[in-house]
Structure formats: C-alpha cells, structure tokens
Amino acid sequence: MSDRVHVLLFDAGSDVEGIHSLELNGHTVVLLFEEEDDALRYAGLLEAQDFPTATVESIPRDEIESFCAQAGYEARSVPKGFMPANAEERWMLAPPEQNFDTSGWREDEPLTPAQEPSDAAEAADLEAFRRSLEGLL
C-alpha cells in the first residue's frame, strides 16, 4: 500500500471539485496532511471563516505530488506533531484570516475580474488542471 496523505477538497466528486490551496510568497501551496485529524481540524477552521464545507480525502502521496507538479503547485507535507518554525509555516496549522474570494471557483457563479483567465491558453490550462484533479478520484 502506498503512503497516503489527506487533502481538503471542495464539492468532492462533482464537476466543480476544487482543492484547498494557499498563496505563499507567490507560490500556490497544497497542504498534504499526514494525520486525518489535523486535516479535519484545518477544515473546521476554514468553515469557521465562512469557506464552503471541505471534505477530507485520503490520496496516495505520489499521485497528489504528481498532480501538484503538473499544475505548477507546491505540495507541502504537514507531518504528525508539526510545529511551525516561522511565520510562513504557521499557515500550515491554521488558515490566514484574510482569504481570496472563493465565490467564483464554481462554474455556475460569475468570476470576478481578478479571477478571469487572461487568454485562451490560461483557460485551457485551468480546464486541464480540473480534469487532472478529477482523475485522482
């Protein structure tokens, strides 16, 4: 059995499924929780900040790391008993109080101008990313 990690998904299993990520120093970071309880706690903190309800999904580490690499994301492991060493790592235990607007990530809701793809290639990349995420499940 391969090493598994836990990630947070929004609308898991639907056509508009999304994965939780953070923007840190110009990089999109996906948190890979080694412990399900840590992922559940983080999901609860997001919900307390009015995020949509996240589902904790167990995924083989190699699959999610490959997905992140293809999407240009950084996969960061949150090990059991993790203690942050600096301010940036604090976001691996608790989400920031300021978050991006998540209302436009669903296809049935309009995108805000800041979220609209700048050209057709970027839109195609976004669609390929979505299909890749669906393939993981």
> Does a structural domain hold residue 108?
no
Pairwise CA distance, residues 128 & 130, whole Å: 5
Residues spanned by the domain of 42: 4-93+115-136
Tens digits of residue pLDDT in 69-102: 999 999 999 998 888 777 777 767 677 654 444 4
Q: Which of 8, 7, 110 is nearest to 52 (CA)?
A: 8
Pairwise CA distance, residues 33 & 5, whole Å: 5
Number of domains observed in the structure of the chain: 1
Residue 51 DSSP label? P
Distance of CA 4 to CAs 60, 67, 103, 116, Å?
A: 4, 14, 30, 34
> Does a structural domain hold residue 13?
yes
Tens digits of residue pLDDT in 19-71: 999 888 888 999 999 999 999 999 998 888 888 899 999 999 999 999 999 99
> Does a structural domain hold residue 104?
no
